[in-house]
Copies of this chain bind each other. A is one copy, B any other.
Amino acid sequence: MDQRPRRVTINDIAAATGFAASTVSRALSRPGRVNAVTRDAITQVARSLSYVPNTHARALTSGRTETVAVLVSDVTNPFYFGLIRGTQHQLKAAGYAHLLIDSENSGGLESHMLTKMRQSIDGAILAASRLPDRLLAALAAELPIVAINRNVHGVPSVLIDSPSGVAQATEHLISLGHREIAYLSGPENSWANAARWRALVTTAARHGLPVRRLGPFPADRMNGSAAADALINTNVTACITFNDLLAIGVLARLHERGVNVPGQISIVGCDDIFGADFCHPTLTTLTAPIEQAGQVAVSMLLTRLHEGAPTTRQSIVLPTHLTVRDSTGPAPD
């Protein structure tokens, strides 16, 4: 009674219409290859029997699964919320299923999951992959992938142009009179972290200004305390933080320790995640189009899947802009 009630198959439709199973198959999956009237007859019967094609049988023969895996390094990180939203949306529009995988910040788990799932998916989106360049490139040779915020030769990717955003942020701080700026560093193995630091160094150098690098700090709210304490020990009047999560943590700790933001120190975040506009004070940050990044990544992947084109080395860079809120202000005298 709890048994699955014997689904209707392509053969049932064949029997009902008098056509061969293969014709039914064609009519349903390659409508062009079949006479219009037989196609209509078949579609009609299929509908009336409420036929649903069996994904597995289809995948088994065709190799296509209409499923894309989205790997994030930590589902918990609100940065991914927007991204997941973007991939989810775009994938659904294309009729693809969305397999969510959390690699728990581990390259090992990442590649393990990927090999395990290889035949269950047509491709994958790797957000913030923890895989070393070589492995990533090797993987890309076996499986269509698109990386987000990761620039490796031979791996199509969607990059968020934080460098130019960081440059803007730096100019913003300098124009407010800040002469010494610190960078609160995120994970050492993060591509974005390195890119942001470099951009800060470059821009500050152009103005003949020194920068300090503090950290690394794991990029979560908790570690904002350590970061804030480190910050207080310096005499910088402004800092750019690896990401908003960390920045929000810093803000909380600074408040706790009675340091006024932006009165005594200005804070800039990165990403503009959920919360950046309602924390206290609201956070000046680099707004990254992360939902769009998810969408674009999916589009690239899908194109690749459909064209069959190797599409090596294709990369798209998405712009960021500085969103000024209340956490930055004039340097104290």
Identify the A interface with B (CB < 8 A).
2, 4-5, 7, 50, 52, 54-57, 59-60, 63, 65, 75-76, 78, 81, 84-85, 88-89, 92, 97-102, 115-120, 142, 248, 251-252, 274-275, 278-280, 308, 310
Q: Which of B2, B102, B279, B308 contacts A279 (CB 8 A)?
A: B279
Once the chains are docked, how many angstroms separate the CA of A153 from the CA of B275? 38
What secondary structure prevails in chain A residues at the interface with B? mixed
Residues of B within 8 A of A308 (CB): 2
Once the chains are docked, how many angstroms separate the CA of A279 from the CA of B56? 47
Q: Known contacts A100-B100, A274-B275; can you find 15 more A-B pairs with CB under 8 A?
A: A4-B142, A54-B119, A55-B56, A55-B120, A56-B57, A56-B119, A56-B120, A78-B274, A81-B81, A92-B102, A98-B101, A252-B278, A275-B275, A279-B279, A279-B280
Once the chains are docked, how many angstroms separate the CA of A275 from the CA of B244? 12
Q: A56-B56, A60-B60 are in contact. Are A100 and B78 (CB under 8 A)?
A: no
Once the chains are docked, how many angstroms separate the CA of A274 from the CA of B248? 12
Once the chains are docked, how many angstroms separate the CA of A116 from the CA of B92? 12
Once the chains are docked, how many angstroms separate the CA of A4 from the CA of B121? 12
Residues of B within 8 A of A310 (CB): 2
Residues of B within 8 A of A85 (CB): 75-76
Residue of B whose beta carbon sits closest to that of A120: B55
Residue picked from A101, A119, A252, most chain B C-beta under 10 Å: A119
Q: A274-B274, A274-B275 are in contact. Are A88 and B65 (CB under 8 A)?
A: no
Q: List 9 A-B contacts (CB under 8 A).
A: A7-B118, A52-B118, A76-B81, A78-B274, A98-B99, A248-B278, A275-B279, A279-B280, A280-B280
Once the chains are docked, how many angstroms separate the CA of A280 from the CA of B60? 54
Residue picked from A7, A65, A100, A280, most chain B C-beta under 10 Å: A100
Residues of B within 8 A of A55 (CB): 56, 117, 119-120
Residues of B within 8 A of A98 (CB): 99-101
Residues of B within 8 A of A119 (CB): 7, 52, 54-56
